[in-house]
Structure 1
Amino acid sequence: MIQKFLLPLAILTLTGCATSQMSRDIAAEPVNVRVIGLNDFHGNLDPPKQSAEAINAKGERVWLPSGGVAYLGSAIDSLRADAPNNVVVAAGDLIGASPLSSSLFLDEPSIIALNMIGLEFNALGNHEFDRGIAELKRIQSGGCEKHTLAVPCRIDNPFPGAKFKQLAANTITENGSTLFPGTALKSFGTGKSKVTIGFIGMTLKGTSNLVSAGRIAGIKFATEIDTANALVPKLKAAGADAIIVLIHEGLFTKTSHSDPQCTGVSGDLMPIVDGLDPAVDVVISGHTHWAYTCDYANINPARPVLVTSAGVRGQYVSAIDLKIDPVANKVVAKSARNVVVQSEAYTRARGTVAINTEFPVFSPRADLAELAKRYADAAKKEESRIIGTLAGPATRDNNAAGESVLGNLIADAQLAATKDPAMGGAQIAFMNPDGLRADVNPNPDGSVTFGSVFAAQPFSNQLVVKSFTGQQLRAVLEQQFINANWTRVLSPSEGFRFSYDMNLPVGQRILAMSLNGVPIRDDQKYRVAISDFLSTGGDLFSVFVSGTDAAIGPQDIDAMIAWLSRGGLTALPKLDRVENRTATQ
């Protein structure tokens, strides 16, 4: 009797062991997850009429028509189709510095479009702060409360807000908390095959130099490395099997958009990646508008992390494939590629770039196309409004000294708008080159539209007039050259001249300055018109903060409209205000 009882029990025990082992074997299979990455969309609902680079099967560089939110949506849908475990994330600047069809409506349509695409997490970029903290909170939560000069909810009322989560791990408020959550978790699979990805979202620490101080009052931006490394163990403790950093900072490369070698890599993101906790598996980045998929182990073997960026304007989308072991709780394989969002729209509109059938051609997603058209139609009347005249194209192209026709034109407009004592009594105006976002191209008859001017100056900056000594002006101009990798030559208004020599030591490169032919005196004060962005130290021009007797002028775009609408054909300024003596030696 005992033997008859024990035999079935032994069989049952063995069967249980086999079932348990089989369960472990099944659980040990890696789980495939596709992370779909975006960055620097900048409200480009319509195809931007700019081509994107691709490398064909022969290794040749070709250019493809690309972009547009309807095509971007289709591209993302195609990447989801063969990857059931997927998540769509972004690395900032989804809004701000946007075309008129988005910016005129406070970028509400871009947020609605990104909701429709299925975006889940976005790390704040510097341009998310362009309209201030209160407006950024409305963008997240929705509603029609007015925080800017523009009226919200003009087309979609009420505005629903972002269904995706903004992440802001290093954006610290006055009470020490983060402006939005710093991290997020997403799980895939079930039971023993469940895996979890932890996300850390950050903007660049230098955001305070890129946004007017009044729009980020009370906000500090913490160091990226320290912020991320402090959060990694917390995410691991919460069950994260993989860690992805979403960061609005980036790289430059000298290779194609999907070359894992990342040949010729440079950029401010490098020391950040070098300093990250080794538990970080992927860094999805932005800000430089460069497209890349770097296997960073080729650069620093101690940091075998993937670093990706999808360029700008939705012309690429990053497909990042991870194999995650749910038993070992880690990523066991990873790869990344950038997909060109090839569309037909640019070809139909311009006829200059041919569809390349070697690469996928995406059809526009109907619901997104309808949204883009609805807002484009609403903006068209304002966009086509004639506001003045111009004798020819005002381009951003720099001469050997760093001057541009557009920069000088805007500086002249800003001086004219603020020279009246009641508007600040300006004697000089400066325009920063990074604030020039598009050329101003008049119609054949010389007429200029609001849309063209708005595209050149989309930030709605307020003009500020401050007093500076000649010595301070010299210090400001020296700051044009403090970043060895990114010289920023200011465009001066008519009457102001300066020269420089890059062969001289840093801080001693300005040779001469004059106003209306009279040398600038170190001890004399001058009234200078600048944007509120520069006034608060934007683009690293910190000396502008020290100006005194501030007076508020009109908005920059209003100054430009007034300048172009004076009557008669507005002449283009000459490029004779800045002299680079280095280039002439």
Structure 2
Amino acid sequence: MPISASIGRRRTALAFVAAATLFGTMALPGVAQAHGHGWNKPKTEDLQLLAINDLHGNLEPPAGSSGTVKEIDATGATVSTPAGGVEYLATALRQARQGHPNTVTVAAGDLVGASPLVSALFHDEPTVEAMNKLGLDVTSVGNHEFDEGKTELLRLQNGGCHPTDGCYVKGRKFKGADFEYLAANVTNEKTGKPILDPYWIKNVHGVKVGFIGATLEGTPNIVTAEGVKGLKFGDEVETINKYAAELKRRGVNSIVALIHEGGLPASQVYNYDCGAAGAGISGPIVDIAKNLDPAIGAIVTGHTHNAYSCAIPDPNGVPRSVTSAASFGRLFTEINLKLDKRTGAIVRPSVTAANHIVRRTVDKAPDMTDLIAYYSKLAAPIAGRAVGFIAGDINGRGSGDLEKPLGDVIADAQLAGLAPAEKGGAQVAFMNPGGIRSDLVFKASGSEGDGVVTYGEAFTVQPFTNMMQVKTLTGAQLIQLLQQQVSGLNEAAPKILQSSKGLTYTLDMNKTGAARVLVDSVKLNGAAIDPTAGYRVAANEFLAGGGDGFPAFAAGTDKLVGASDLDLFTAYLTANSTAAAPLAAPAQDRIKIIGVGQDVD
């Protein structure tokens, strides 16, 4: 099995292991403990881990509520604190390393993809360069690392100019990532072999430490078919345990899992403690953590964009650290621990873990400022063009509501662009909530002026530039589509589609599964849905192909391909807003909600 030491351009770094604080002197089998009066205690090595996840190319500070973190202030009140931006993240990480001669920086996937324009315009090369500068050592892949397919992911790792766009500046060739991408459970369908190294071994003063990286098994359900073509995504537990056994055979007794899958903590406060038994967290990571090999000393996670530092019992019932640093570079996790130099194991009672806010009150890192300025200058002719005007904030990603104001605007834009008969004759349009990547903020940074929406800001909201499709669904299929928001793959974590004006219905979240959609309440332009009639339905190509757990879309017929979602969005803003008559946030009156729903995307 290849290890990073065999790749000349990749840095040699220190390794780490992390776990949540245990009670008393509990330890995993094989973990050495003190004996007698302490004269024969094993020698240990201090180790620090700094972890991030789900950066999504947010080099500049994220706008609006997507760029804040909830914390409890000195008075006990919950407040939103501005956070994030790679200039501040780099400074925070560099400060955290001070006084720690042994430190390693890791990530749990989605560093790129769904990125703002300053990174996405250059196929996320700026983000990889930023991660090189701030000293990232190793990361798992996430689902968004496959947005442009396997070949592009390998280019980000190994370097080289983009196959179609080429090099962006004459004489300047992209060098690729200095850090390791790991993809244990992503294999070539034909060969069965991982497309990247499954693990990474580091020797820390004689102690071998292994890092296993994996993404969620359900990646094909949330990435376009083209992005995962020819790839197979294996079960997280089965795959990680397989490579943990292999590492142990190689004499590696300290193992860390980097998993792009996560949980849903009971609180949105950034430093929420889930409790000693992990009772305060739910979601896929709980069962994964409970079934991973006890030799795995710590689990760093991502994907759900939540913040937590939890202790979830391993198969032996011993609590084990499971952490996530939210998203967009707003937080980082610091984990400090000791390694037993005699056994090569983690001294688990020594472990402490905490999330820290990346506050914008620290000095900016000059090298990151220069990098952002370099790419911003290249992007400026496109990014700075005004495309519309808003009367106030229109929240999307930062909205906690099931029906999001910006979701309504996007769906209306899609309907407006595709309603003409020659454009598809759409009668209703749907937008997936996970595809809304930011907010439209009235008082944005920069010099364009309050209320002005630039192309760059619109791109940050709709960065995928998916092509739109219009299909015919029967009324029965349309009802089934609405039911799939809260049933099947989406029952535990509902994905509420954002619908265009004219479609109204009631969701009763006190019920379960498909029954949450009150069928008699579904109306289009005031008329009840006819189960046997045909309706022209618009959606982006990802949703139209059945993505995000909506197979009813894939059953549609008479497909017509239209413009991109971004083009329709910017055209709508231009046509429906002026400086004198800016666009206001819609009323959010299309879905009547009964009970409390979990907003997850």
Q: TM-score if structure 2 supplies the norm length? A: 0.81
Q: Which residue of 1 aligns with 2:464?
A: 459
- How far is 1:574 from its partner? 4.7
- Pair 251,477 (structure 1): closer, same or farther in 2 beyond 3 Å: same
- How far is 1:284 from its partner? 0.6
**Contact 1:38–1:90 (8 Å) recurs in 2:** yes
Q: Which residue of 1 aligns with 2:223?
A: 211
Q: Hey, what's the Cα distance between the residues in 2 that align with 1:507 and 1:259?
A: 33
Q: Which residue of 1 aligns with 2:309?
A: 293
1:176-220 deviations in whole A, cap 9, x for unaligned? 12221111111111xxxx001111101111222221222212222
Q: Which residue of 1 aligns with 2:333?
A: 318
Q: Which residue of 2 aligns with 1:248?
A: 260
- How far is 1:79 from its partner? 3.4
Higher relative contact order (CA 8 A, sep 6+): 2
Are residue 85 (structure 1) and residue 98 (structure 2) matched? Answer: no
Q: Which residue of 1 aligns with 2:5?
A: none
Are residue 550 (structure 1) and residue 567 (structure 2) matched? Answer: no
- Structure 1 gaps of 5+ residues are 1-24, 347-354, 356-361
> Which of 577, 592, 597 is 1:579 aligned to?
592
**Contact 1:243–1:280 (8 Å) recurs in 2:** yes
**Contact 1:401–1:578 (8 Å) recurs in 2:** no
- How far is 1:289 from its partner? 1.9
323-332 vs 257-266, which deviates more? 257-266
- Pair 136,154 (structure 1): closer, same or farther in 2 beyond 3 Å: farther
**Contact 1:69–1:372 (8 Å) recurs in 2:** no
- Pair 277,332 (structure 1): closer, same or farther in 2 beyond 3 Å: same
AA partner of residue 100 (structure 1): L
SS at match of 1:71: helix
520-529 vs 382-391, which deviates more? 382-391
Higher gyration radius (CA): 1
Q: Hey, what's the Cα distance between the residues in 2 that align with 1:398 and 1:304?
A: 33
Q: Which residue of 2 aligns with 1:561?
A: 570
SS at match of 2:351: strand
- How far is 1:474 from its partner? 0.8
Q: Hey, what's the Cα distance between the residues in 2 that align with 1:499 and 1:399?
A: 20
- How far is 1:473 from its partner? 0.8
* Aligned residue runs from structure 1 range 328-347, under 5 A: 328-333=343-348, 334-338=350-354, 340-343=356-359, 346=360
Q: Hey, what's the Cα distance between the residues in 2 that align with 1:251 and 1:550?
A: 37
Are residue 277 (structure 1) and residue 293 (structure 2) matched? Answer: yes
Are residue 166 (structure 1) and residue 166 (structure 2) matched? Answer: no
- Pair 91,156 (structure 1): closer, same or farther in 2 beyond 3 Å: farther
SS at match of 2:226: helix
429-438 vs 258-267, which deviates more? 258-267
- How far is 1:156 from its partner? 8.4
> Which of 182, 190, 200 is 1:184 aligned to?
200
Q: Which residue of 1 aligns with 2:405?
A: 405
Q: Hey, what's the Cα distance between the residues in 1 that align with 2:455 and 2:59?
A: 19
- Pair 132,489 (structure 1): closer, same or farther in 2 beyond 3 Å: same
- Pair 26,459 (structure 1): closer, same or farther in 2 beyond 3 Å: farther
**Contact 2:520–2:528 (8 Å) recurs in 1:** no
Q: Which residue of 1 aligns with 2:475?
A: 470
AA partner of residue 547 (structure 1): G
1:520-569 deviations in whole A, cap 9, x for unaligned? 22222222110112122222212212222322211101011122223664
**Contact 1:39–1:310 (8 Å) recurs in 2:** yes
- Pair 54,389 (structure 1): closer, same or farther in 2 beyond 3 Å: closer
1:152-174 deviations in whole A, cap 9, x for unaligned? 63598311111211111111222
**Contact 1:40–1:312 (8 Å) recurs in 2:** yes
- Pair 178,492 (structure 1): closer, same or farther in 2 beyond 3 Å: same
- Pair 337,399 (structure 1): closer, same or farther in 2 beyond 3 Å: closer
Q: Which residue of 1 aligns with 2:113?
A: 96
Q: Which residue of 2 aligns with 1:115?
A: 132
- How far is 1:65 from its partner? 4.6
- Pair 241,446 (structure 1): closer, same or farther in 2 beyond 3 Å: closer
Q: Hey, what's the Cα distance between the residues in 2 that align with 1:517 and 1:151?
A: 52
Q: Hey, what's the Cα distance between the residues in 2 that align with 1:76 and 1:398?
A: 25
- Pair 62,544 (structure 1): closer, same or farther in 2 beyond 3 Å: closer
Q: Which residue of 2 aligns with 1:489?
A: 496
Q: Hey, what's the Cα distance between the residues in 2 that align with 1:214 and 1:445?
A: 39
**Contact 2:397–2:438 (8 Å) recurs in 1:** no
Q: TM-score if structure 1 supplies the norm length? A: 0.83
- Pair 421,215 (structure 1): closer, same or farther in 2 beyond 3 Å: farther
**Contact 1:501–1:511 (8 Å) recurs in 2:** no
- Pair 70,399 (structure 1): closer, same or farther in 2 beyond 3 Å: closer
Where is the helix percentage greater, Structure 1 or Structure 2? 1
- Pair 455,124 (structure 1): closer, same or farther in 2 beyond 3 Å: same
- Structure 2 gaps of 5+ residues are 1-38, 444-448, 597-601
Q: Hey, what's the Cα distance between the residues in 1 that align with 2:125 and 2:182?
A: 19
**Contact 1:316–1:338 (8 Å) recurs in 2:** no
SS at match of 2:196: coil
AA partner of residue 488 (structure 1): K
RMSD of aligned C-alpha atoms?
3.1
Q: Hey, what's the Cα distance between the residues in 1 that align with 2:167 and 2:525?
A: 45
SS at match of 1:83: coil
1:211-241 deviations in whole A, cap 9, x for unaligned? 1222212222211111111111101112212
1:274-317 deviations in whole A, cap 9, x for unaligned? 011111100011112222222334x9871432112222222222
SS at match of 2:548: helix
**Contact 1:248–1:285 (8 Å) recurs in 2:** yes
Q: Which residue of 2 aligns with 1:529?
A: 538
Q: Hey, what's the Cα distance between the residues in 2 that align with 1:582 and 1:310?
A: 29
Q: Hey, what's the Cα distance between the residues in 2 that align with 1:154 and 1:426?
A: 42
Q: Hey, what's the Cα distance between the residues in 1 that align with 2:368 and 2:540?
A: 36
Q: Hey, what's the Cα distance between the residues in 1 that align with 2:569 and 2:428?
A: 16
Q: Hey, what's the Cα distance between the residues in 1 that align with 2:564 and 2:432?
A: 15
249-258 vs 265-274, which deviates more? 249-258
- How far is 1:269 from its partner? 0.4
Q: Hey, what's the Cα distance between the residues in 2 that align with 1:366 and 1:402?
A: 40
212-221 vs 566-575, which deviates more? 566-575
SS at match of 1:557: helix
**Contact 2:291–2:315 (8 Å) recurs in 1:** no
122-131 vs 286-295, which deviates more? 286-295
Q: Which residue of 1 aligns with 2:281?
A: 265
Q: Hey, what's the Cα distance between the residues in 2 that align with 1:80 and 1:184?
A: 22
AA partner of residue 451 (structure 1): G
500-509 vs 380-389, which deviates more? 500-509
Q: Hey, what's the Cα distance between the residues in 1 that align with 2:55 and 2:171?
A: 21
1:59-103 deviations in whole A, cap 9, x for unaligned? 886765533223322332333332323222110111122223222
SS at match of 1:153: coil
**Contact 1:67–1:313 (8 Å) recurs in 2:** yes
Q: Which residue of 2 aligns with 1:12?
A: none
- Pair 554,180 (structure 1): closer, same or farther in 2 beyond 3 Å: same
Are residue 34 (structure 1) and residue 34 (structure 2) matched? Answer: no
- How far is 1:392 from its partner? 5.0
1:119-172 deviations in whole A, cap 9, x for unaligned? 12110111212223222222122211335xx66635983111112111111112
1:255-277 deviations in whole A, cap 9, x for unaligned? 65274736622222000000111
